[in-house]
Amino acid sequence: MFCCCKTVRIRASTLAALLVVCFTANPSGAASSSVQSAQTQYEKRVQPLLARYCYGCHNQEKHKGELSLAALANGRDALQHPEIWEKVLSKLRDREMPPEEKPQPSSAERERVAGWIEHTLFDCENPDPGRVTLRRLNRAEYNNTIRDLVGVDFHPADDFPADDTGYGFDNIGDVLTLSPMLLEKYLAAAETILNSAFTNDAIRGGIFVCDPQTGNTNQCFRAILGRFAQRAYRRPVQADEIERLIQLAEMTMANGADFQTSVKTALEAVLISPRFLFRGELPSQAAAQQKPHTIDEYALASRLSYFLWSSMPDEELFGLASKNQLRRHLDEQVRRMLRDPKSKALVENFSGQWLQTRNLKQVTPDAKLFPAFDDELRDDMARETELFFENVAREDRSILDFLDGDYTFVNERLARLYGLKGVSGPEFRRVSLKGTARGGVLTQGSVLTVTSNPTRTSPVKRGKWVLENLLAQPPPPPPPGVPPLAEGADDTALASLRQRMERHRSDPHCASCHEQMDPLGFSLENFDAIGAWREQDGSFPIDAAGQLPSGEHFSGAPQLRQMLMKEKRSQFVRCLTEKMLTYALGRGLEYYDRCAVERITSALPGQGYRFSALVLGIVKSVPFEQQRGDNVDGGQHTDAEAGARAQGS
């Protein structure tokens, strides 16, 4: 059983995509021969192993994890489902399947299946960089870009409609739609922004610098509008683009407006232009080559700055791009950008969504049961996690600190909740956690609170959080019609939460997923619904022991972290890489992105798992640095399909 426990959407079009990705460089006869060979190898060497180890649980009757392998009964059908095989390969490499109590394949048998998958489905010598969606700036990106473009820092996008999310993030191009209401907001914001800028003498002086100061209105229009548009569009501006802006300013002046009003009208046009509101690369002349190609350095500068700063490139990035020297200095620029205060955007926007601590704003623990929780403590919890992530990034520490870092950042309020001594005052400071049960992000109040219910802890939510955000193994949704856990006074008085949950999951339809989630959540039961330590749940002693179907035993948070650090380390590193690559690209990952993920993760151990090594691995990867040619579909979805998948993720 080398298969995933997750619902996988199948598309018949993936066979054609597979042939393009794997065999496009071969003559048609060679491609046909290669396909036939792959089919034969599957039927002779792979399918018998699936029948021996997988079909007992993943057939049309049982289809555990919502997966049936009946569709892969022959080689032709097997080649039509690369998305299944990408998941199978992960389970296979991590030895997650079959469960410990089931018959186990030998190492040679595992390698036989893995080798077929890798050789047949993933062409890492000729990788597909994937589809780049033109996407509008989300609210955070809009605010930051306006700040850096105009010098006005009053967050106009806070009044915009909320951004939709996909694949866990709100910068995914396929779901960032543009509604009529948002268009009206852009129009109003452009006027407000420039009115504010023009009332500031320093900012107005910067915008209206006209060189040469000859009194020639056309030349001044050209100098002012050209300089502003180039920064706003984040690339060199074409002559016809400047001419249209000049014509607008001249027409406004011809209708009786003064010079300043005429310029402002043209600048407003820049701020509502799709060239400003959207980012991404239009098909270039290189796309006519009909093959993947490297993006230009202005595009690279924008990808880099919106990844690390959620904002436009600064003058240093623009300057290097103009000289075609950004790639040559990429390492030092990434490190400079991570040290820059603007990298706080990565902390807020990436970590807040990866760790789901943004949801703290919506949680409302029961005030009677948890009187220590208030808005100030809520803010303290969020601040702790931000400071922890920022410390890993700024000090270039190991990303394994997220699992088992023996320090954190607290003030007096948070220290009191955690039972830490010697901390007074509202200021945050770094403290050691050695000798305590806490460590990494798992035991921080922010994570423990967002994974709890208002009145109690939720081992299911906490276990699901670990699977999704640390191991990249989100469980399928629960089957319909499952009754909620009994929460009456009699139930809670007569049985512990663990006992009630064990009865609740006796339904065989629920057991397969709960076997994965519940042990992880139970190991965190010593922390109550807002993260305070406890030895008992009401009148019942805490039982924090757990065992996963794959055989790992642990009891309590320290042993859980130890298990994650040892047995699950590679899965965590891959998970974080996938999450950050998704955020950096603004799209969901596809099966052909596996080559990039593997290259990044395989290099990290030799670099001490340093945060900068992860970031550099991403910005130097094929999906980040390249653009797909016009005729390479790569099995990608239509915009409608991709948007639907992102919304449902």
Backbone angles phi, psi at 554, to 5 degrees: -165, 160
Question: What pLDDT is attached to residue 109?
Answer: 84
Give me the long-range contacts of 545-551 (CB less than 8 A, separation at least 24): 546/518, 546/519, 546/520, 546/522, 547/519, 548/515, 548/516, 548/519, 548/520, 549/99, 549/100, 549/101, 549/515, 549/516, 550/95, 550/96, 550/97, 550/99, 550/100, 551/99, 551/100
Cα–chain center distance at 8? 19
The pLDDT assigned to 444 comes to: 98
Q: Is the dihedral of CA 39, 81, 115, 103 positive or negative?
A: negative
CB atoms within 10 A of CB 260: 12
Query: For position 193, what pLDDT does the model report?
Result: 95
Q: What is the pLDDT of residue 408?
A: 98
pLDDT at residue number 648 = 58
Alpha-carbon distance of 566 to 595, in angstroms, equals: 24
Please name the helix (run of DSSP H) or strand (run of DSSP E) that holds residue 344, with its range, or none: helix 344-346
Q: What are phi and psi of 383, to 5 degrees?
A: -65, -40
| Two tokens, residue 152 | 């006005």
What pLDDT, on a 0 to 100 scale, did the predictor assign at position 342? Answer: 97
- For residue 95, the model assigns a pLDDT of 72
pLDDT of res. 123: 77
Picking from 512, 468, 521, 636, the residue whose alpha carbon sits closest to that of residue 130 is 636
pLDDT of amino acid 462: 97
ω into 313 cis (within 30 of 0): no
Q: What is the pTM of this model?
A: 0.87
Residue segments in the chain with a per-residue pLDDT below the cut of 70: 1-33, 59-67, 71, 94, 100, 202, 211, 213-215, 282-290, 481-494, 504-509, 630-649
Q: How high is the pLDDT of residue 636?
A: 42
35, 43, 121, 369 from 40: Cα distances, Å: 9, 5, 15, 63
**How is residue 409 annotated by DSSP?**
E
Burial of 159 (0-12, 13-18, 19+ CB in 10 A): exposed
The pLDDT, as a whole number, for residue 485 is 63
First to last CA, the chain: 25
Say if residue 479 is preceded by a cis peptide, omega within 30 of 0. Answer: no
What per-residue confidence (pLDDT) applies to 21?
Answer: 32
Indicate the burial class of 535 (C-beta count within 10 angstroms; 0-12, 13-18, 19 or more): exposed
Structure token pair of residue 347: 């902390």
Token pair for 7? 């619902």
CB burial string 611-648: b at 16+ within 10 A, e below: bebbbbbbbbbbbbbbbbbeebebbbbeeeebbbbbee
Which pLDDT belongs to residue 11? 33
pLDDT at residue 288, rounded to an integer: 52
On whether the CB atoms of residues 290 and 631 are closer than 8 A, the answer is yes
Residue 98, pLDDT score: 76
